[in-house]
Amino acid sequence: MNSNEIDIHKELKKYFGFNQFKGLQEQVIKSIVDKNNTFVIMPTGGGKSLCYQLPALIQEGTAIVVSPLIALMKNQVDAIRSLSSENGIAHVLNSSLTKTEINQVKKDISDGKTKLLYVAPESLTKEEYVEFLKNVPISFVAIDEAHCISEWGHDFRPEYRNLRTIIKHLGEVPVIGLTATATPKVQEDILKNLDMPDANAFKASFNRPNLFYEVRTKTKNIEADIIRFIKQHKGKSGIIYCLSRKKVEEIAQVLQVNGISAVAYHAGLDAKTRAKHQDMFLMEDVEVVVATIAFGMGIDKPDVRFVIHHDIPKSLESYYQETGRAGRDGGEGHCLAYYSYKDVEKLEKFMAGKPVAEQEIGFALLQEVVAYAETSMSRRKFLLHYFGEEFDSENGEGADMDDNVRNPKVKVEAKENVKKLLEVVRDTKH
Ligand code: ADP
Ligand code: MG
């Protein structure tokens, strides 16, 4: 069966109830159905899951989906099961299953019932599972969050490095890598590591035209500045990211004292409090959540109107991910970062205890954040360039949506003028 022989629009409607594909989904799905190695780069929320779920559902055999988070796998399996009357259509294979459960999974796969098998990368290294999977028809292997392969990604997982070897044991099966990390370095790592230089690559644009990017110098008046900003956005939802739990607590309190409804969120709070605070934010019982980066994964509040970085993030990928939580509905999204070189030094100190290779990568990523904060060019152009994307800062979508474009930095030019003046002075002296 190839992609010309099936009506994938009809299948989309049948399984998912959607009338059309989002972005590059159709091309990606055709590439997979035609048994090509395929590489998909789409921002978070772009619709990557459907890219492998639909081909899995309509093809012979079982698709193996490697995913790093058990919670996410469970969600996806539940979602797929809800589309079908056959419970065995999707399964998770992991170490928490009982012997009986494992046998049921194996039986459903052997009976051809299971279209999607989600596995954690460490489970896939298990001899017993590999032996079993070698002897059943596999449609393809999808590797979600494929950036976990790369040390340059924001979530490196050594187990991901062994995937290629294991997949080779399964025989000739197409491999699909998917990620929301767009830096050329990470992409190169993924293709190299999965040994698929021939892959059909599909990359969606990372431009978020409705987000406004701004960087302000961090001074001791930062708290007053943040309060003023929030009061200008009265009644709107926003997230404030801080580096430390202590800072999170501090800022949340300062806001509360100043009549802003805010809650704190960080990994030091117990699960019940975290869940409560998250719900309060989602239900709009509070306007602002002050959080460490522990907050945000899988949170889909469409009308977040601002994301403030009290401290600079450790990489531009993190910055893009975190600011990306603003304006999901296409409406206004103001992304404000406070920058001081002292914070850079603080982050560098944090890294000092880590292995040398990790430190080097950490420093390099941080330097990019510094360059972004200090640039006088279009911030959107800078960010997109970092992701390997050319942006037309004259006519591109959202071209005027940042502080540098709206208010070009005269200060920098003034400095240039002073420099020139000094040169003239020096020249005349000689
Ligand atoms: P990603 O993994 O790229 O972050 P997801 O696969 O989680 O994105 O999809 C994000 C959202 O988009 C989901 O709610 C999904 O149901 C929705 N979605 C995906 N494809 C379509 C489509 N063709 N039409 C409408 N909604 C879609
Ligand atoms: Mg995803």
DSSP secondary structure string for all residues of 112-169: T--SEEEE-TTGGG-HHHHHHHHTS-EEEEEETTGGGG-TTSSS--GGGGGHHHHHHH
pLDDT reported for residue 420: 57
Q: Which ligand is nearest to the CA of 42?
A: 1
Q: Which residues line ligand 1 (CB under 6 A)?
A: 18, 21-22, 25, 42, 44-50
Specify whether the CB–CB gap between 208 and 324 falls below 8 A: yes
pLDDT tens-digit map of 8-28: 999 999 999 999 999 999 999
Which ipTM did the prediction report? 0.99
Crossing angle of the two packed helices 356-374 and 316-323, in degrees rounded to 10: 60
Cβ neighbours, 10 Å, residue 261: 13
Under 8 Å CB-to-CB from 21, ≥6 apart: which residues? 9, 12, 29
pLDDT reported for residue 90: 97
Task: Check residue 15 and report its DSSP letter.
Answer: H
Token representation of residue 325:
């939580």
Q: Which residue has the higher pLDDT, 128 or 290?
A: 290
Q: Which residues fall inside 5 Å of ion ligand 2, going by CB? A: 48
Candidate from 10, 25, 49, 66 with most ligand 1 atoms within 8 A of CB, to mutate:
49
Under 8 Å CB-to-CB from 422, ≥6 apart: which residues? none
The average confidence (pLDDT) of the chain is 93
pLDDT reported for residue 411: 55
Rg (CA), the chain: 24
- State the average pLDDT over residues 65-75: 89
pLDDT tens-digit map of 209-244: 999 999 999 999 999 999 999 999 999 999 999 999
pLDDT reported for residue 422: 53
Indicate the pLDDT class of residue 415, thresholds 50, 70 and 90: low
pLDDT reported for residue 342: 94
